[in-house]
Amino acid sequence: MRITIVGCGSRGSKLAEAADEMMEVKRIYLVDSDKARAEALAQVVKKAEVVEDVEEELYHCDLVIECATQAAAKQVIPKVVARGVDIMIMSVGALVDDDFRQMVTDKAKQCDAKVYIPSGAICGTDGLRASTVGEIQQVELITTKPPVSFEGVKYVEDRGIDLSKIKEKTVLYTGTAREAVQLFPRNVNVAAIVSIMGIGFDKTMVTIAVDPNIKINSHELRIKGEFGELTTHTYNVPSPINPKTSNLSVFSAIAALQRIVKNQWVGI
């Protein structure tokens, strides 16, 4: 299998290093707007080579893994599925746009391309997926992170919130998943995953809180439906490279890649 990784930051680097150890992966193409970063990664990944654009090797590629940003994802995804190439999407918030998501779905079906979305930094998505076979009354996500996770977030800066002065758990946002994904694009990918798998962006409710007394990222998922009730609570260690994301988010993508390359589907 030949794969292309778009985005060579913390997530893309970890995926490239993991793919390098998989015997089923023969070649890894690296794409990044910062070519120097891609070239630096290629120096430590034996099977890797840098290409200028995702389309450069699509005819020789079996899978593209998007690890960039929501904006980049919206540019990359249509190009990939239109060529009939499978894609794994990490910037799931790009799919909050209903028209764009439907276009991707239709094009993927038309061109026989598969779209993979890892479960990310949250547990319980298997139960959520199964529960949607029946009626669902409520899906709620409560995300709590330390202050460092929200540094540089425009929503926080625009409201003049001084993260250094927060001394106890404080709610930053409560509302729909659609708005949360747009306001916190690098913090709540899980909200997009839960919305797509469940009852949609407008019915899924999200609470985002900051807590200076914790060092972990917390995601609590609450579901009520015809099946009964389900609550999961995932306590994630933040990535040492990028505290805005969790180690489990990267691990889930690596696990998904392992399943794809081996064509093994347990617990689907």
Active site residue ranges: 219
Closest CA to 177 of 159, 201, 156: 201
| Structure letter (DSSP) for residue 93 | G
Cα 225 to Cα 128, 202, 230, distances in angstroms: 10, 17, 9
Alpha-carbon distance 146 to 132, whole Å?
32
Backbone angles phi, psi at 206, to 5 degrees: -130, 135
Residue 230: which region, alpha, beta or left (left: phi > 0; alpha: psi -120 to 50)? Answer: beta
Tokens of 135: 């009626």
Give me the sheet containing 170-176, strands edge to edge: 170-176, 205-210, 136-145, 217-225, 228-236
Residue with tokens 């691990």: 251
